[in-house]
Amino acid sequence: MWQASIFTLYPDMFPGPLGTSLSGEALKRGTWSLEAHQIREHGLGRHRAVDDTPAGGGPGMVIRADVLAASLDAGLPADDPRPRLLMSPRGRPLTQERVRALAAGPGVAIVCGRFEGVDERVIAGRGLEEVSIGDYVLSGGEIASMVLLDACVRLLPGVMGKEASGSEESFEGGLLEYPHYTRPREWEGREIPEVLLSGDHARIARWRREQAERLTAERRPDLLPRD
């Protein structure tokens, strides 16, 4: 079973949307498991404080290293083989390649930041790897972690069903995906491209390849190999 352990101040957010549709069914079937640990259980004092003011001044609050480390140490055995990720806008951007590698492994442990983030020392002290889901700032790591989990879980064996879905998708061949059409054949005066109705599989494959290359060149030239 592919195992996800989440360290968060908002465990009630899980499984959230991951409890429905493909990921929810796979969760019920036991294809993957999800555990959400409340960091605050290791908070300090009567108020179970988890954060404090930033050293050096400035706005906001920072999650304490000692509190987060205590939560991780209680929730993860020292020899747990799963990568320990910290959702962070400063991290390496998540890619489909990385998602594939994570889905092929034993699972993930994920720390969700809040406020200004976490004390830098716990990142090194507990070997956390920072992962970003894009160049924008969210208010917390929970939704970012769900994005990562959703992308991984749909690749687990049996989750997407028998179709070859996955192998022809955007990014998989280094290209964006070709356009899709379905019935009706004509809609508001727009036709399905004739080639797709031709039954000529070689021609269809060629057309799809050309479309994928055209879309990628137009929208994401950064994905094309540089000669």
Q: Give the footprint of ligand SAH on this chain (CB under 6 A).
A: 87-90, 112-114, 116-117, 132-134, 136-138, 140-141, 144
Using the minimum distance from each CB to ligand SAH, give the nearer residue, 93 or 166: 93
Distance in angstroms (rounded) separating the CA atoms of residues 34 and 30: 10
If the CB atoms of residues 24 and 89 are measured against ligand SAH, the closer one turns out to be: 89
145 versus 216: smaller Cβ distance to ligand SAH: 145
Distance CA 164, CA 39 (A): 40
SS3 215: helix
Residue nearest to ligand SAH (CB): 113
Preceding peptide of 221 cis, ω within 30°? no
Compute the radius of gyration of the chain from its Cα atoms: 22
Nearer to ligand SAH, 64 or 216 (CB): 64
Nearest approach, Cβ of 139 to ligand SAH (angstroms)?
A: 6
Which tokens in the block code for residue 91?
């991290």
Tokens 């769900």 correspond to: 146
The span from the first CA to the last CA of the chain, in angstroms, equals 42
CB of 136: closest distance to ligand SAH in angstroms? 6
